[in-house]
Structure formats: structure tokens, C-alpha cells
Structure 1
Amino acid sequence: MTNVYRLSRRGFCLCCIGATTMAATGGGWLSPRQSFAKALGIVEMIRADAAKASIKTYKLRGNVAILEGSGGNMGVLTGADGTLLVDAGITATRPRIMGALASLDNAPVKHLVNTHWHFDHADGNEWISREGARIIAHANTRKNLMAAVRVEDWNFNFPAAPSAAIPTETFSGEKTVVLNKSTLLLKHHPNAHTDGDIAVTFAEANVLHAGDIYWNGIYPFIDYSTGGSIDGTIREVEAILSDADDQTIIVPGHGHPVSNKSELRDYREMLVAIRDRVSALKRQKRTLEEIVAANPTAPFDQKWGQFVITPAFFTKLVYEGV
């Protein structure tokens, strides 16, 4: 992986955790407790870094595109009904987001879908809302944005979002939106990355935005503090696989933004194998430190463990859920 993910207030400082961990140990890992300590005070660093982020545009099929570089991968649907975004990125990248959107279509942003509440996906809610867009999200995303939330795995307290950033329209199971001659299916995938994850399918283009249920080529973060789980992640990846076919373009929340069913299947196999390895060690009454030392992720680290969430930290996240 060569891209640098710049995550803000609710993005949980993923890139800096990995970078700080590796730098502090000369290529090794800090303990989970040490890593958490390094997370403190990092939010403003992330915001400052995001202010310099470049945005890369990927045109997919029809009038669907992806913007990469502002937190999570952002979906774009253009047309006469106004531009629709899937996720809002980080506010500091607003000028470059607007430039990228203008290169696709000059229509104003009228609709925004949040795949979940994390700030690398919802920081831009406020400015996009003030531009006149309505915000659609799962009810739990609205709940999490409205409240002060503590994420234990980052030892960090996140304040409630501004009122303008709160989703104006919510749903609980599935919702269909028809815009720009496209049919969008918004589907809740419970207790995966968070308790409010949704996937967005652009039916005619056969493009599926999976949000942070899927991290392409990197170990994922699981937010247990707001309802995420390793078993739920695996279950909902399997659900997305069932909804896709071999021609579906699958967009991950992080990692290279253009993926497919085969790569998502590899991701699922990695999650299952590591979950089973960590679970077996935990049943043997091994401590977390002993399990980390056993390196249960070793067969997968070269492909999945080179960025963002370190093997040791991902082992800790899986340990919490088995």
C-alpha cells in the first residue's frame, strides 16, 4: 500500500497509530496499552495533515465515481437530480473535494449518505448540509453522532457532532432511493464495524459501496464501543458476498477503492482464519500478551499487515470479540 489515509476526529487516527507504533520500535510493535497512549492528542495532527491531502478520482460505470484521499473512500453519483455522495470525508479537504466534484459534474450536492458514524466518513457532514444536502443514514449512526461517545480501544472521548452534521433522514433495515436515473439500495449490516453500518448498491451500474465493513488489503478496525464485532464483520461480509456477482465493482471503506468479489472473498477468508486462531489460543487460557507473541496473523501479515492496523493491534481487536 502506498496511499496515506488521513483520518480526523472520528477516524480513530488509524494511520498514525500504525506509523507511531512502527517508528517507536524500529519495525516492531508497541503493546496495545502503549499504542492507545500514543493516540492521545493526535486529532489536530490528523486535521492538519488532511488539509494537505490530495483527492484522486476513479470513474466507474455510468455516472458513478469514487473519490480517494479524504478519510474513507467516497462514492459519487451525478445527474440532473443533483450530486449524491456516499460519505463526507474530512472537512479540511473540502476545496479539493469540490474541485474533484466539479470535474465530474457542476450540479450541487443535494444528497449525502453516511455509511456509519466515524469521523473520517462524516466530518464533512456539516458543510455539505449547509450547502443544502439532506443526509441519510441508519438510525444508529444518527444516535452516535448526536451523543458524546467514548471509544475504549482508542482511549478517546468524541464530542457530539454539530447540529447541522446530524442526519436528517434515517431508516432501520433497508431503504431504496431513486435519483439520477439510478436505483440505490441502502442496506443495514448490523454489528459489523459498528452498529450502524450500511452498504450502498447502485443497481444499474452494479457497484456496491461496502463502507468500513470491508478494508481492501489492510487489517480493519472494529469499533466494539459502538456495537462492532469480529463475528458480525464476518457475517456481514458474507452477506455482501451473497449480494454481489462476479461483475460487481465493490468499493471498500479503506484501501484501493476499486475491488471485486474475489478480493472480498480473500478478505473474508483472512478474517475467519485469524478469528479461529485467536479463539483457539484464548480457549487455552493464554493471555493477550501471550497470544500477540504467538503471532497468529503471521501467514497474512505480508499482504494485510503492512499499513494502518498493525498485526499486534488487530490480534488485540479479534481477542476482544472471541
Structure 2
Amino acid sequence: MNKHDYALSRRGFCLCCLGGATFAASGGWLTPAEVFAAAKSVVIQFREAAAAADIKTTTLRGGISALSGSGGNIGVLIGDDGKLLVDAGLTASRPRIEKALADLGQQPIKHLINSHWHFDHTDGNEWLNSEGAMIMAHPNSLKHLAVATRVEDWNFDFPPSPKGALPTMVMKSEEETLKQNGQTITLKYYGPAHTDSDISVFFQEANVVQMGDTFWNGVYPFIDYSTGGSIDGQIQAAEANVKMVDDQTIVIPGHGEIAGKKDLIAWRDMLVGVRENVAKLKKDGRSAEDTVAAKPTAEWDPVFGNWAISPALFTRLVYEGV
């Protein structure tokens, strides 16, 4: 079983059928929204996967662990101040997340930080809040969670979140610092990137950083144009991430395996290279269909092209934004 097979099975990310849906029965290429419409809703698929997936715990350092298997990766800091989580996973995983958290220690859940507003990182907000977690996020996460929000390229309308799922505190500036469990925790807003609500969470003493969906390790990303994301924003965030770390930094990605600086560089270089290739084809007058057919991602497909966001779909998403 290779790395990508592991990510699909162990983590419950069973969206690979989307890649096969990129070619319509008529022989025409689908738009990103049509890809998701052609398969079962990506939202439903993630939730069904989370209901069956195991939760894997990876111990890092400084009292920090990472849980994978429920939507996006979840960071956990434990200590005398209680448990602090970064991202909430999917509610369908609650029993297995509760067990994983209990196995880490009996400290109560006190704090939750949302890296951005997307459901696979915030679906568990309500139950974690009911357990005592104060929820902190960027104001744009609160904005999107509090109202009906459509993600066009997922072909999905999210209803307003219940009150208990909403962030109870929002960042007042683009960079804020917290002190918990012996860690100085720096929250930093990227500006529009994957969405318009993305923040990094850096545990300074441990030299561990969680980057949400500004970094997908070893897989092509989804870009949410409906709520402020863009390929250029993703690249700017990728540049910021490379500058943020040193060779000893442990990186928790939004999706994929625990990583380091070399993985961030490979990710940044892929984004830049694909954008350049797609932009040139579009500037030359190529249609989206012709651009996909030209395979502008081919150089990176062996590493990044083996997950839910297929090379064809990622090309479509980049074409949308150049």
C-alpha cells in the first residue's frame, strides 16, 4: 500500500470517484461544480467516510499530537490548562475522536481554534463547544458559518450553523498570541488564500505549526473561489508558509501526512509551476477543455495526482483563476 492508498483508506477520504467523473458520458469535460454534482455530494461523502474511518493519533512534541481520519487533520495540545484543539473534524467521528482524546489524557476540552470555515474542519464545533470548548477563529469564519453559504464548485449550499457551532471569539488583528499549556501560540491571518478565512497556528516553543488548507501534503488542493479563495492566494500563502518555518519545524497540514519544510517547498513549487503552465495556455486562447487535454500538471501528477482532486479537476480550478 503506497502513501496515497493509505491516505484514502486509513483516513477515510473516499472521494477518488470524483477523478473518474471528470469526463462526461457525452465525452465533454465537466466544470468543477459538475464534477461534484456527477458524483454523490462531496459533503455527504466526507461525512459518510468519517462515520466509518479510524482515528489515527500521531504524537509530535511539546504536548502536541495530531489526529487524522475525520475530515481535516486535528491538532491537540494537552497540559494543565486543559486540551486545546485546532480544527474539529466531522461530527460523525465523534465517538472515535472522544476516545482518541481520552487516550491522550483526562484533561477537559477548553479551547478550539478553527483554521478556516470549511465543514471538514468545523463540523465538530457544536459538540466540542458542548464539552466546554471556547471557539476562536478569524472573523470571516464566523461570517460564513453564521449564514447560508454556497460553495459553487462543490455544488452545495450550507445552511447557517447552529449557535453552539459558531466561534465565540474572533481575532481582532491579523496576528494574535495566546498562552496555553506552556506554549506561546501565534495565530496569523493569511489574507485570501484557500478561502478568505485561513489562519496558521504556530506553537512557538515546540516549533510545530498547523496550516489548515493552505497546505495539502502530497495531493492537489481544492480552491474555494466562492468564499474568497484563489490560485494566486494559495501561492501567496505557500510562500508565507515556506518563510515561516525552519528545517526543524513540524508541520501539520490540512490534509495529508505530517510534514516539514521540504514538503512545503515542493508544494509551493507545484502551485507556481501549474499556474504558469495553465496561464500560458489560457493566454494562448486555449479553452478549458483544451487546457485540460494539454495536461499542464503532468510533471507533478506522480506525487500530487493520486487523490480526490484529480489532475483534470485541479487544472479546471486553476484555469478558473488565471
Q: TM-score, normalised by structure 1?
A: 0.92
Q: Is the 8 A contact 2:292 2:315 kept in 1?
A: yes
Which stretch of structure 1 is more off in the superposition, 134-143 or 36-45?
A: 36-45
1:246 lines up with 2:250 in the alignment: no
Give matches, 1:63-102, under 5 Å: 63-102=63-102
SS of residue paired to 1:269:
helix
Letter in 2 for 1:19: C
Letter in 2 for 1:246: D
Q: Is the 8 A contact 2:21 2:38 kept in 1?
A: no
Deviation track 1:274-303 (CA, whole Å, cap 9, x = no partner) reads 000000001011110010011100111111
Partner of 1:299: 299
What is the alpha-carbon distance in structure 1 between the residues aligned to residue 52 and residue 297 of structure 2?
Answer: 34
1:3 lines up with 2:3 in the alignment: no
Compared CA separation, residues 75 and 190, structure 1 to 2 (3 A): same
Partner of 1:199: 200
What is the alpha-carbon distance in structure 1 between the residues aligned to residue 269 and residue 315 of structure 2?
Answer: 16
Letter in 1 for 2:287: T
Q: Is the 8 A contact 1:116 1:141 kept in 2?
A: yes
- State the Cα distance separating 1:37 from its structure 2 match: 2.0
What is the alpha-carbon distance in structure 2 between the residues aligned to residue 56 and residue 232 of structure 1?
Answer: 31
Partner of 2:287: 287
Give matches, 1:157-306, under 5 Å: 157-171=157-171, 172-256=173-257, 258-306=258-306
Partner of 2:319: 319
Compared CA separation, residues 175 and 5, structure 1 to 2 (3 A): farther
Q: Considering only aligned residues, what root-mean-square deviation do their CA atoms show, in Å?
A: 2.2
- State the Cα distance separating 1:5 from its structure 2 match: 7.5
Deviation track 1:195-226 (CA, whole Å, cap 9, x = no partner) reads 00000000000001011000000001100000
What is the alpha-carbon distance in structure 2 between the residues aligned to residue 30 and residue 255 of structure 1?
Answer: 28
What is the alpha-carbon distance in structure 2 between the residues aligned to residue 264 and residue 174 of structure 1?
Answer: 21
- State the Cα distance separating 1:47 from its structure 2 match: 2.4
Compared CA separation, residues 282 and 44, structure 1 to 2 (3 A): closer
Deviation track 1:89-134 (CA, whole Å, cap 9, x = no partner) reads 0011111111111111111110000000001000000000011110
What is the alpha-carbon distance in structure 2 between the residues aligned to residue 276 and residue 262 of structure 1?
Answer: 21
Partner of 1:31: 30
Q: Is the 8 A contact 1:192 1:227 kept in 2?
A: yes
Deviation track 1:149-208 (CA, whole Å, cap 9, x = no partner) reads 111111211111111000000014111110111110000011110000000000000001
- State the Cα distance separating 1:6 from its structure 2 match: 9.8
Segments of 4+ moved more than 3 angstroms: 5-8, 39-46
Partner of 1:138: 138
Deviation track 1:294-320 (CA, whole Å, cap 9, x = no partner) reads 110011111100111000100011011
Q: Is the 8 A contact 1:148 1:159 kept in 2?
A: yes
Partner of 1:11: none
What is the alpha-carbon distance in structure 1 between the residues aligned to residue 41 and residue 210 of structure 2?
Answer: 31
Q: Is the 8 A contact 1:7 1:90 kept in 2?
A: no
Letter in 2 for 1:60: L
Residue ranges of structure 2 left out of the alignment (5+ in a row) = none
SS of residue paired to 1:178:
strand
Compared CA separation, residues 255 and 5, structure 1 to 2 (3 A): farther
What is the alpha-carbon distance in structure 2 between the residues aligned to residue 6 and residue 225 of structure 1?
Answer: 30
Compared CA separation, residues 29 and 130, structure 1 to 2 (3 A): farther
Letter in 1 for 2:30: S
Partner of 2:54: 54
Residue ranges of structure 1 left out of the alignment (5+ in a row) = 9-13
What is the alpha-carbon distance in structure 1 between the residues aligned to residue 229 and residue 9 of structure 2?
Answer: 21
Deviation track 1:16-38 (CA, whole Å, cap 9, x = no partner) reads 2x32442797xx99633641322
Compared CA separation, residues 251 and 312, structure 1 to 2 (3 A): same
Partner of 1:115: 115
SS of residue paired to 1:72:
coil
Compared CA separation, residues 316 and 142, structure 1 to 2 (3 A): same
Which stretch of structure 1 is more off in the superposition, 217-226 or 235-244?
A: 235-244
Number of aligned residue pairs: give it: 314
Q: TM-score, normalised by structure 2?
A: 0.92
SS of residue paired to 2:299:
helix
SS of residue paired to 2:300:
helix
What is the alpha-carbon distance in structure 1 between the residues aligned to residue 241 and residue 18 of structure 2?
Answer: 33
Q: Is the 8 A contact 1:218 1:309 kept in 2?
A: yes
Q: Is the 8 A contact 1:185 1:200 kept in 2?
A: yes
Letter in 1 for 2:93: T
Q: Is the 8 A contact 2:116 2:197 kept in 1?
A: yes
